[in-house]
Structure 1
Amino acid sequence: MPLIVAAAQTISVAGDVPANIVNHLRVMQAAANHCVQLLVFPELSLTGYEPTLAHDLAILADDPRLAPMRELAQKTGMRTVIGAPLKMSVEKGAGIGIAALVLQLDGTVSVYTKQHLHPGEEKAFVPGFGGTPVLVDDAKIALAVCADATHASHADHAAQIQPAVYAVGSVITTGSYPAESAQLAGYAAQHNMAVLLANHGGPTGGWSCAGCSAVWAPGGEQVAVAPGLGEFLVIATRNDGIWSGEAIAL
């Protein structure tokens, strides 16, 4: 069967979780209408990239406000990865982590936490512990959050499970985009795995993001990319081993 994955390039309202949930639901439904099986939002999509607000905005994985998105993921059969500041348990090091929360088809929420902090993030966040791959039928999806993917060792470790996709939710600025996108394309070529980038489609936390969310096929060829800023679905399909894609304005 085909594998259909998508990056949700969205614009977050700073600190406004209810408004961002409404937008997440809109984007999720749009992706489900295109039969997407795995949808990945940018880093901290639920709150915006707002380190100074993270302590007050941090949630637990079972936060009741996630219920509408959990229910839609179940209803549509679309595993969905959202970005949020997460209250870390004492056993795993007290503090706020940067999480990718995976809304599973059985209604549960799996957690991936960012392992490599960007310089300066230690003022608001603590390093995380990664997480297990997401399974879409027989396809393994390895997750990464932003600075994780700038460390070649992270991609090397992910490649050991031979994932179909290395999926990255990020905040990438216009200045950083050329180098970081080239690095992601390099991972696709080196490790023979597709690489998906979900970037913010507008400014967040004072940073001018580049947009240009994209998917590279195994081997490094870019098969889909958002044309710049704004809200887009960047959809990629693997059918009989061949990848194709498109970017759809939201």
Structure 2
Amino acid sequence: MSPVLAAAQCAVHAGDINANVKLHSEFMQHAHEHGVHLLVFPELSLTGYEPTLAEALTQDVDSPVLLPLRQLAQETSMTTVVGLPLSMPGHEKPLIAAFILHGDGSVGVYTKQHLHPGEEQYFSAGNGGDLINIAGVPTALSVCADFSHPEHPSAAARQGARVYASSVLIGETGYPKDSALLQGYSQLHGMAVLMANHGGPTGGWAAAGRSAFWDEKGVCVASTSGVGNRLLVVSKHLHGWQGFETAVECSD
């Protein structure tokens, strides 16, 4: 089976989990129409990147707010990675988590290991997570600042990852440096890189959009053309990766 991966570049509603669940559902349905096996949303996608709201919005692994998305992931057999602040025993503050909604109905968690300067005021650092298998392709997850530490993608490559999927919030000023880092990792490690960025303002940041995918040689196969609700879909074929973007019409 050839893997089909997608970045869900969404413009989220600040602090409104219910509205964002609906938004995520629309993205998931759109992705399913394109045969996607792995759908990756940006950092803290279900709340927005809102550090001051994180404690009030924190959820457990089995949070009922995820039930509609878990059910949809199971119905479509599509592994879906969504972002929420996570409450975990032994941690005083919430963790920045990527919840992995598997096609069998189960839930896994990846927690952000490397905090951005200033985030320690609101969040605790996490412990990462295991590789996930997507259509036979070992895939590593990361959340934003994780990839700014070269040892993170290096460890993923040593563990056998062939795809490095990153949920991010990258603004206009940081985009040239950050996208160059991700492209460089794909070349250095021979590991394809998928980056899912926010598609609108969040937490006072003007997200750059331009979600992207680089193949194992560092070639940018596809990227979104800017901001807004866009789905970036890539698939691997006999002669390499191919990709395209498509707009996602979302109801208010």
User: TM-score, normalising length from structure 2?
Assistant: 0.97
- Across the aligned residues of Structure 1 and Structure 2, the Cα RMSD in angstroms comes to 0.8
- How much has 1:18 moved relative to structure 2? 0.2
How is 1:113-132 mapped onto 2 (pairs within 5 angstroms)?
A: 113-132=111-130
For the structure 1 residues 241 and 115, does the alpha-carbon distance in structure 2 shift closer, same or farther, using more than 3 Å as the test? farther
**Matching residue's letter, 1:116:** H
- How much has 1:88 moved relative to structure 2? 1.7
Give the counterpart of 2:136 among 135, 138, 142: 138
SS in 2 for 1:95: coil
CA contact (8 A) 2:140 2:164 kept: yes
**1:149 aligned partner:** 147
Q: Does 1:42 align with 2:29?
A: no
CA contact (8 A) 1:162 1:193 kept: no
Give the counterpart of 2:237 among 227, 236, 239: 239
Gaps of 5+ in 1: none
1:115-157 CA distance string (max 9 Å, x none): 0000000010000000011111321110000000111110100
Runs of 4+ in 1 over 3 A off after TM superposition: none
CA–CA distance in 1 between the matches of 2:196 and 2:15?
A: 20
- How much has 1:32 moved relative to structure 2? 0.5
**1:102 aligned partner:** 100
CA–CA distance in 1 between the matches of 2:103 and 2:76?
A: 9
1:38-62 CA distance string (max 9 Å, x none): 0000000000000000000000110
Aligned residue pairs, count: 248
CA–CA distance in 2 between the matches of 1:171 and 1:217?
A: 21
Gaps of 5+ in 2: none
Give the counterpart of 1:228 among 223, 226, 243: 226
User: TM-score, normalising length from structure 1?
Assistant: 0.98
**2:68 aligned partner:** 68
How is 1:49-64 mapped onto 2 (pairs within 5 angstroms)?
A: 49-64=49-64
Q: Does 1:17 align with 2:17?
A: yes
**2:198 aligned partner:** 200
Identity %: 50
**Matching residue's letter, 1:227:** S
- How much has 1:241 moved relative to structure 2? 5.7
CA–CA distance in 1 between the matches of 2:150 and 2:113?
A: 13
**Matching residue's letter, 1:85:** P
**2:26 aligned partner:** 26
